[in-house]
Structure 1
Amino acid sequence: MKPVVFDPYGRRRSSWRLPRWLVLLLTGIVLGAGGVVLVQERYLPPRLSASASTALRASFEQAEAERQRLQGELGDTSKRLEAALADRKGLADELATSRGTTEQLRKDVAAVVASLPPDPRGGAVEVRAGRFTADGAALAYDVILTRERAAAGKPLTGVLQFVVAGASARGTETTVSLKPVAISLGSHESLRGSVPLPEGFKPRQATVNVLDRVDGKLLGMRVMYVK
């Protein structure tokens, strides 16, 4: 027979223990938390303090405000660019219309010039029409010149020399040569302007001389009355 152990306090030894799975779970949690702390402390950037976090947030908000401002300016610039492009298109259309009108006027003028009577004297340059009026101390003129053999794209340069007959300030008949007028002539040209007259001179008749230069070769000539 086995001996019987006598326990005078009557206490029993407890046989309860933690389950193995719980021990493993708690051990894993502890090791995982330690690993996270180790990685943060050794490998990751240091965590920001409260003041650093506040400064970082302020910088971010400032950068965001600047971004929004620049985005607004970009939108305004885009609108101005679109308006400028629209204006440019409108100007281009107006220019095209103006060129078309100018070309039509050029054709109309050419048709009118062609319908004028020829210069009775002929010449390399014909004086097809002209009008002279005494305007105070100046002689106002409107003269239309044409060339039969105009070289393509090469205008003829020369001068207009007006020789005017009339009465001087003393009442005697005389003839004066006025200041030459430089010209550039293509196939046709309408010239308008005025040249000064001697003081007190009353013109009666004007001779239009077309020269290749001052005192040069005569290219055309016509005599007309002054109104």
Structure 2
Amino acid sequence: MSNKDSVAHEVQASSSSRQSGGKPLAVLALLVGLTVGAVAARYWFQSEASQQYNSMRQSMQTELDTRSSELAGARAEADALEGKLAVEESTRKGLEASLQALQSELGRARDQLAFFDQLLPPGPKGAVSIRALEVEQLGPTLQYKVLLMRNAQSDSLFTGDMQFMASGTQADGKEAKIILKAVLAPGTPDSAAEDAVADAGKFALSFDEFQRANGLLGIPQGFVPRSVTLNVLEGKNIRVSRTVKLSAAD
């Protein structure tokens, strides 16, 4: 065999050897490619799923925040309405209490009006009349209320006195009439006490059209009054008088 034939044989053998050894490498490369592709595809799918999940989660969180805000607003509105209702209820109760107080005052005012708006109309011009007289026994005292009226010009004053006289029974059982005197409040100055004694139970008057008076009269010990007469005096003359009977003391 010549050298040329030997070389050609070796080249052919080497080429055949390379061809038979290249097939496993191609298979390995294919497997590696498939593996890398599968991993890449898995990563891509995971990435896409993660993005979709994050987007969905963000959307749900936004929706939740919106609903939470709406709920908080609704609760605030409900609290405000409850507070308003509580204030209105308190106002209503306050108005009801005020109305009851006003009704009570109106009742008392009507009683006072009924007391003072009674009996005879005013007499002739300048005449003094006792429009109302009420006397009530309170323990050892008599409480009186008086309304005097006079039909006269406003620039003309009536000047005189009131005097209360009681009819009743003394401790010895005898009938008697006594002049009642004012009950002096504790701490009254001695000079005022002396004036009251000197007045002999007279109460000074000075008015033009009407005058109201009220106070307490003392009942002597052992004396049981049955009636009280009010005399309106001008000087020593009795201008008008009225007698009221007393209810039995409690």
TM bucket normalised to smaller: 0.3 to 0.5
The TM-score normalised by the length of structure 2 is: 0.41
User: Which one has the bigger helix percentage?
Assistant: 2
The TM-score normalised by the length of structure 1 is: 0.44
Q: Which has the larger radius of gyration?
A: 2
